[in-house]
Amino acid sequence: MTRFIYDQFAKQYLKELLTPFGTVETSRDIGSEVRQVDVQFSPRSPNPTELSELGLLGKLATTAAIFEPFRNAVQPKEVRSCLGKLYDLQAELERQASRENTRISESELPRLWILSPTASPQLLDGFRAVTAPGWTSGIYFLAPLLNTAIVVIHQLPNTPETLWLRILGKGTVQKQAIASLRELSEDNPYRLAALELLYNLKTILDARQDLDREDRELIMELSPMYLQRLEIANQQGVQQGQRLMVETMLQVKFGTIDRELSQIIEPLIQLSALEITQLIMQLNREELLARFNPEG
């Protein structure tokens, strides 16, 4: 079942993004009848401003939270199951506070965020889930004391603010999010983490036979980026090998690599292995330095 594969991806993805900002537990057992919370998050500090880097996902994580991601449209029985896990966890926290002779306020109890690509009007109406002022479209809150909201990912606006949640969508929405992810600056730390998890997902899906159309389309979407990553990794590996070879040969011939010799390593590794070997073996120190720094 590919649903399990996507469940694991979603858990790892949320854990990777949220770990810098607090404590994250995945597949956490709760209750006397063992059930698992997909992702439980506790922020390191109240309302951490740095979470704004994750846009809407960061806003959801400004307080203690449970995330329950679904690959397909969430169903009523699944919403009820999520609510049961929330109440089990809240009861566990209240018992712990009682044992420690402390109090836990309503605002300190975790909020449940159900992440679903779509949700039928009947389901939303059945749980009296409604939008709220100050929140973007696609987020539906249940009654206040239920401390729960359903995030309908495919209804979120296509903006940078929602990118990190739209990655967990499917079909066209997910493909658009992946394209936006690819366009982010390469020094964005979350870009690399998300791409690596997506590449892992592609590798796992490649090995499966029971793929549906959306799975195959996701593989096709990821394939060009995956091949580019392999090419870059291969080039970096070659350059690292060249650098190691040059450094070793310079050390063997001259004993140490001082500041002047270190400055010619970069131009040397741009040459072929044969040219590198000939230059280092045939030229003395002064000739080598003059070869790459004729004005020195």
DSSP 251-267: HHHHSS--HHHHTTHHH
Q: Tell whether pTM > 0.85.
A: no
pLDDT, position 296: 46
What pLDDT is recorded for position 225?
Answer: 61
pLDDT of residue 27: 73
Burial classification of residue 63, based on how many CB atoms lie within 10 Å of its CB (0-12 exposed, 13-18 middle, 19 or more buried):
middle
Among 93-97, 118-122, 222-226, the least confident range: 222-226
Which of residues 30 and 104 earns the better pLDDT score?
A: 104
Largest CA distance in the chain: 83
Q: What is the pLDDT of residues 48-100, one digit of tens each?
A: 677 888 999 999 998 899 999 998 999 999 999 999 999 988 888 888 888 88
- In a domain, residue 58? The reply is yes
Mean pLDDT within 248-257: 74
Q: Is 76 within the bounds of a domain? A: yes
Q: How far apart are CA 285 and CA 296, in angstroms?
A: 13
245 and 140 both lie in a single domain? no
Residue that terminates a domain, selected from 124, 140, 169: 169
Between residues 155 and 203, the one the model is more confident about: 155
Asked whether residue 117 carries a pLDDT value surpassing 90, the answer given is yes
Q: Which helix (H) or strand (E) holds 10?
A: helix 2-18
From 169, 184, 208, give the residue that closes a domain.
Answer: 169
24 and 162 share one domain: yes
Inter-helix orientation angle 213-254/171-183, to 10°: 20
Asked if the structure places residue 193 within a domain, the reply is no
Question: What is the predicted pLDDT for the residue at 1?
Answer: 47
175 part of a folded domain: no
Pair (141, 251) in one structural domain? no
Q: What does the pLDDT read at residue 231? A: 52
Same domain, 125 and 47: yes
Domain count, the chain: 2
Q: What is the mean pLDDT of the chain?
A: 82
Q: Are residues 147 and 282 in the same domain?
A: no
**Lowest pLDDT segment from 72-76, 93-97, 208-212, 223-227:** 223-227
Alpha-carbon gap, residue 45 to 21, rounded angstroms: 8
Question: Of the ranges 122-131, 181-190, 215-224, which is most confident?
Answer: 122-131
CB atoms within 10 A of CB 262: 11
Predicted local confidence at residue 290, as pLDDT: 85
Segment 200-218 shows an average pLDDT of 70
Q: What are the φ and ψ backbone dihedral angles of 283, each rounded to 5 degrees?
A: -100, 150
Question: Residue 79 burial by CB count (10 A; 0-12/13-18/19+): exposed, middle or buried?
Answer: buried
Q: Please say if the pLDDT value at position 21 is more than 80.
A: yes
Domain of 75, in residue numbers: 2-169
> What gap in Å lies between CA 20 and CA 51, rounded to an integer?
9
* Sheet containing 22-30: order of strands: 22-30, 35-43, 65-69, 111-116, 148-152, 139-141
Same domain, 50 and 143: yes
Whether 186 maps to a domain, the answer reads: no
Residues 155 and 263 reside in one and the same domain: no
H-type alpha helices, 145-284: 163-166, 171-183, 189-206, 213-254, 259-262, 265-268, 273-282
Domain boundary among 147, 169, 191: 169
pLDDT at 207: 65
Instruction: Report the pLDDT value the prediction gives residue 185, as an integer from 0 to 100.
Output: 86
Residues 46, 126, single domain; the answer is yes
**The pLDDT of residue 238 is above 70:** no
Q: 215 in a domain, yes or no?
A: no
Does one domain contain both 165 and 33? Answer: yes
Query: Same domain for 159 and 238?
Result: no
Calculate helix-pair angle for 2-18, 189-206, nearest 10 degrees.
170
Measured torsion, CA atoms of residues 8, 184, 49, 10, in degrees rounded to the nearest 10: -10
Please check whether residue 68 lies inside any domain of the structure: yes
Q: How far apart are CA 231 and CA 279, in angstroms?
A: 28
